[in-house]
Amino acid sequence: MYPNPMKSNRKIVTRVSTPLLVFLYVLALLLPSHVVNAADQAVTIPKAVVDGMVYGTLWRSAYQDNDAVAALIYDLFVLQAGNGGMSEGDLTAAIGTYMANVEAAQASAPTADHAPSAKETAQSMIEVALTVPALQPYIGAVWNALAGPLGPSGLDQATQIGSTNNFPFEQTVRDLVQTTVPGLVAAAQSNPAIAAGADQVHQAKLNVSVKQFDGRATVQAMPDIAIPAEVIQAIQADGTISISLNEIKDLSLNEFTKLDLSISDMRQTLVQIDAKQPNLVDYIHNQEEQAKQKALAEAKAAEHKRKLEAIESSISIFSTLGGFIDSDFGKQLKTLGESGLKIGKAIDSWLEAVAGKSTLDSIFSASTVVMTGNILGAVVSIVSLFGNSGPTPDQMILEEIGKLRKQVDQLRTEMHARFDRIDQELNIIYTTMQERFDKIDIQLGVINANVLEVQRTLLDLDLKLNRMERNNFELLDAVGRRPLLEAINGGLNYQARTGQTMPFQPDFVNYENLFQTWGTIHAFDALATG
């Protein structure tokens, strides 16, 4: 009798599979954790990186907006001159002269009702550097780091130049801060000239010396430092940090959740204020209601400004730590965080502006155009994550992009009627921007369109905003000059036209006061100077 082949096969399978399963189970237990899941394995962040992160946190807390641009340029000159072999005494003397000349230039500058742009600040700083002979050899390298040639974005040069180009410049400044400040700390530990120059610029402002800087000792001495408690607790006795990529992702998600809630709350306040402004002209004449809504907006704006600053500090720290473990993820987190914060800050600034609008701003939408431009800049940065040569964004990044996209779309929907009341072209701009934003497939991590074409469309929207801003200025200028033109027309050749001497009261007194005011005050205000 022959054996049953089916029974034999089952015995063979049993004899082979059981030991194999046991072997695989034991192997899984013996394998290092990073083989099972690398993102869960703790990585040691070196002390030098931690020190740069802590000093950078103090730096960013101390310098905002144009002050940050100026501080960055000082740091670039310190690094260039120090690495170029300038002695400690010569470097501190040159930087001292430079800082004094910058202060003198700012004091003698004409008073303006508006702050210069980041690029204008940088240009002014470079112009002053030309007055310091010791720094002149380093001006080219500093300016190239700030501005550089037209970037290899794939867009034609006319498109790049035609746009305000503020988006890439502001991004360059943020990127330089992220690399320059930690580099300054590292270089200062071995170069006395750089250490002395850095302290000359920052020590009084930061209340700490860069010489022999110790991040762990600093956070212990400064309990209010803007670093998350989880990170402070993770700093070891030797100044290093042990943390996994997934821990960083979890901490980052908490910050993005805070950002999402903050933007939602600001949007709700905007809806509430907008409901009180169905007719902008009536609203600006209702002083009681305007004061009430302004108080509400100012309180909310101040509250969320503090929240956004805390989120900004945390995201910067997490992108630094995450970038050490996974450079691609660190860059993606940094770009998304900065873009989300730009949207949040734009809405925060607009919130305060819409409640306390003056007559002219209500009619000509200046603050709304600025807010739209900032949101557009954020979308441009997010789209840049999907370049053809870059890696697919991390799934966590994609999910947060989806949340930001939803926030922008909800803002457009809620403010649709308001944009129509101010300028119907705003709705066209928002609709087009949202259509391009929707090209991002957050499930697949791709953009369902030609990236360059999307970028070109977004830059075209930027040009439209520039034209709107220019049109607003021309309208404001025309309205503002009417009293002057009427006075000139009424007073010129008065006796020849009327056959009578001009009365001292009220004609001559009124004309004299108007001409004197225009010649000494109005000619130098923001409306006249642009």
DSSP string of 214-239?
-HHHHHHH-TT-SS-HHHHHHB-TTS
12 — pLDDT class (breaks 50, 70, 90): very low
Cβ contacts of 132 within 8 Å, gap of 6 or more: 94, 97, 98, 101
Dihedral pair phi/psi, residue 447, rounded to 5°: -110, 125
Using alpha carbons, select from 247, 385, 416, 269 the residue that is nearest to residue 322: 247
pLDDT, position 91? 98
Residue 517, pLDDT > 90, answer no
Query: Taking residues 197-216, what's their average pLDDT?
Result: 97
CA trace torsion 279, 283, 284, 288 (10° rounding): 170
Cβ contacts of 320 within 8 Å, gap of 6 or more: 49, 52, 53, 56, 178, 182, 330
Q: Which residues pair with 45 in a beta bridge?
A: 241
Residue 186, pLDDT > 70, answer yes
**Nearest-angstrom CA–CA distance, 191 and 115:** 36
Q: Which residues pair with 447 in a beta bridge?
A: 440
When mean pLDDT is compared across 73-82, 116-125, 465-474, the lowest value belongs to 465-474
Chain position carrying tokens 């309205």: 479
151 — pLDDT class (breaks 50, 70, 90): very low
When mean pLDDT is compared across 233-237, 240-244, 472-476, the lowest value belongs to 472-476
pLDDT in tens, 30-56: 555 444 467 889 999 999 999 999 999
**320 in Cβ contact with 384 (< 8 Å):** no
User: Would you kindly state where each structural domain of the chain is located, as residue ranges?
Assistant: 47-240, 245-449
Amino acid, single-letter form, for residue 117 = S
Q: Which residues pair with 243 in a beta bridge?
A: 43
Residue 528, pLDDT > 80, answer no
What sign results for the dihedral spanned by CA atoms 267, 273, 279, 282?
negative
% pLDDT > 70, the chain: 78
Query: Taking residues 433-441, what's their average pLDDT?
Result: 88
**Nearest-angstrom CA–CA distance, 525 and 331:** 42
Q: Where are the beta strands (DSSP E) in 133-274?
A: 241-243
Residue 290, pLDDT > 80, answer no
Residue 168, pLDDT > 70, answer no
Rounded to a whole number, what is the distance in angstroms from the first to the last CA of the chain?
A: 106
Query: Taking residues 58-63, what's their average pLDDT?
Result: 95
Two structure tokens written together for 13: 């399978």
DSSP one-letter code for 135: G
Between the alpha carbon of residue 216 and those of residues 213, 245, 450, the distances in Å are: 9, 21, 47
DSSP one-letter code for 445: T
Between the alpha carbon of residue 3 and those of residues 7, 10, 12, 17, 444, the distances in Å are: 8, 13, 14, 22, 54
Query: Taking residues 146-165, what's their average pLDDT?
Result: 50
194 compared with 115, residue with greater pLDDT: 194
Angle at 339 between CA 333 and CA 343, to 5 degrees: 140
pLDDT, position 490? 81
% pLDDT > 90, the chain: 44
What sign results for the dihedral spanned by CA atoms 241, 245, 246, 249?
positive
**Nearest-angstrom CA–CA distance, 204 and 58:** 12
Residue 216, pLDDT > 60, answer yes
**Nearest-angstrom CA–CA distance, 32 and 29:** 8
Query: Taking residues 91-103, what's their average pLDDT?
Result: 97
**Nearest-angstrom CA–CA distance, 239 and 53:** 12
Two structure tokens written together for 155: 């867009």
Using alpha carbons, select from 324, 59, 12 the residue that is nearest to residue 218: 59
Q: Which residues pair with 43 in a beta bridge?
A: 243
pLDDT, position 355? 63
Query: Taking residues 260-283, what's their average pLDDT?
Result: 82
156 compared with 285, residue with greater pLDDT: 285
Chain position carrying tokens 């746009």: 163
Residue 384, pLDDT > 80, answer yes
When mean pLDDT is compared across 19-28, 114-123, 381-390, the lowest value belongs to 19-28
What is the residue-wise DSSP string for 406-422? Answer: HHHHHHHHHTHHHHHHH
Residue 406, pLDDT > 60, answer yes
Cβ contacts of 125 within 8 Å, gap of 6 or more: 69, 70, 73, 102
pLDDT in tens, 357-376: 554 454 445 677 778 888 88
Query: Taking residues 57-78, what's their average pLDDT?
Result: 95
Max CA separation in the chain (angstroms): 143
Query: Taking residues 261-265, what's their average pLDDT?
Result: 95
**Nearest-angstrom CA–CA distance, 83 and 414:** 54
Helices 327-355/395-414 angle, 10° precision: 20
Residue 138, pLDDT > 50, answer yes
**Nearest-angstrom CA–CA distance, 138 and 73:** 11
Where are the alpha helices (H) located in 356-423, listed in sequence order? Answer: 359-364, 366-383, 395-414, 416-422
**Nearest-angstrom CA–CA distance, 515 and 463:** 37
pLDDT, position 264? 95
Residue 14, pLDDT > 60, answer no
Two structure tokens written together for 454: 């999307």
When mean pLDDT is compared across 94-103, 337-346, 445-454, 462-471, the lowest value belongs to 462-471
* Residue 521 DSSP SS3: coil
pLDDT, averaged across the chain: 82
Chain position carrying tokens 């805070």: 258
Query: Taking residues 440-467, what's their average pLDDT?
Result: 80
Most confident of 97-101, 169-173, 339-343, 443-447: 97-101
Two structure tokens written together for 194: 């750089």
pLDDT, position 227? 95
Cβ contacts of 194 within 8 Å, gap of 6 or more: 78, 79, 82, 83, 91, 184, 187, 188
pTM for the model: 0.74
72 — pLDDT class (breaks 50, 70, 90): very high
